[in-house]
Amino acid sequence: ASILSKKLAAGLGSLVLDVKVGNGAFMEKSRDAVALANSLVEVANGAGLSASALVTGMNEPLASAAGNAVEVKNAVDFLTGRYRDRRLEDVTLALAAEMLQSAGLVSSNLDGIRRATEALAGGRAAAVFARMVAVLGGPGDFVENPEKYLPTAPVELAVKAEQDGFVTGIATRDIGLAVVTLGGGRSHPDDKIDHAVGLTRLLPVGAELRPGEALALVHARTEAEAEAAAAAVRAAYAIGGSKPPAEKTVLRRILPR
């Protein structure tokens, strides 16, 4: 009810839901995520709101940044084409295509992906975001110069792996908890959030570690907090001798029955 109530009250024409599954999601098992997605889609459509859902994987971070300002910077880099994480691009294009199809603007999923890709490549997506920021009272040059406005933490620490090999798994929830311990999230409702701290350059599953290469970069307020977060990130990564098979990012498409 809490998920759908605000959407229904807003009077949407259609709705696309992204239901996560994996060790970093509320639903860790596929059958539970699919059941939740089906329930949400059925309730929404039963209430007169055209809805569909994508079940997407969360057995590793969606992008190479985790935090607040660092994730905003990652999103701006994605929109402008400075840097795009593959998993984030996969999910973004899939959701955009689903929304275009749901709204009747394209006739197929492939056409939707093509339209979304063109909007990214041509700069239209970044331009629309820039207008949104300005209309909401933000700086007009935020997309061009995000570094001018986003806070930065004073301490940076590279998380060096203890062995070479391949990233075979990531305890995604522990990555999130590392950000919380830095002050980037709340343990209690009255906690203040430090928007500057977080993690960047997170290596994905399948990445090869060479001598001296880091798993991630910690952004912290103090050296002690940086060291603690680095230890947590290091423990969250599993390193092995063989490259694991790639997992699909978009796992299921859920339509009303």
Q: How far apart are CA 116 and CA 128, in angstroms?
A: 13
Choose among 217, 214, 212: nearest CA to 197.
217
Q: How far apart are CA 106 and CA 110, in angstroms?
A: 9
Closest CA to 64 of 196, 241, 216: 216
Residue 183's domain is classified under what CATH number?
Answer: 3.90.1170.30
Radius of gyration of the chain from its Cα atoms, rounded to whole angstroms? 19
Question: Pairing between strand 208-209 and 14-21?
Answer: unpaired
Q: For residue 96, which of 110, 85, 76 has the smallest C-alpha distance?
A: 110
Query: Is residue 229 a part of any domain in this protein?
Result: yes
In a domain, residue 103? The reply is no
How many CB atoms lie under 10 A from the CB of residue 252?
16
Q: How many structural domains comprise the chain?
A: 1
Domain with 200 in it: 152-240
Q: Which helix (H) or strand (E) holds 215?
A: strand 214-220
Instruction: Establish if 215 belongs to a structural domain.
Output: yes
Q: Considering the entire predicted model, what is its pTM?
A: 0.92
Is residue 204, in this structure, part of any structural domain at all? Answer: yes
* Per-residue confidence in pLDDT tens, the chain, 257 aa: 788 999 999 989 999 999 999 999 999 999 999 999 999 999 999 999 999 999 999 999 999 999 999 999 999 999 999 999 999 999 999 999 999 999 999 999 999 999 999 999 999 999 999 999 999 999 999 999 999 999 999 999 999 998 999 999 999 999 999 999 999 999 899 999 999 999 999 999 999 998 889 999 999 999 999 999 999 999 999 999 999 999 999 999 999 88
Q: In this structure, how many other beta carbons lie within 10 angstroms of the beta carbon of residue 180?
A: 16
Side chain identity, residue 89: E
Assess if residue 205 is contained within a domain.
yes
Q: Look at residue 195 and tell me if it is in a domain.
A: yes
Q: Is residue 73 part of a domain?
A: no
Domain-located, residue 180? yes
CB 215 within 8 A of CB 253: no
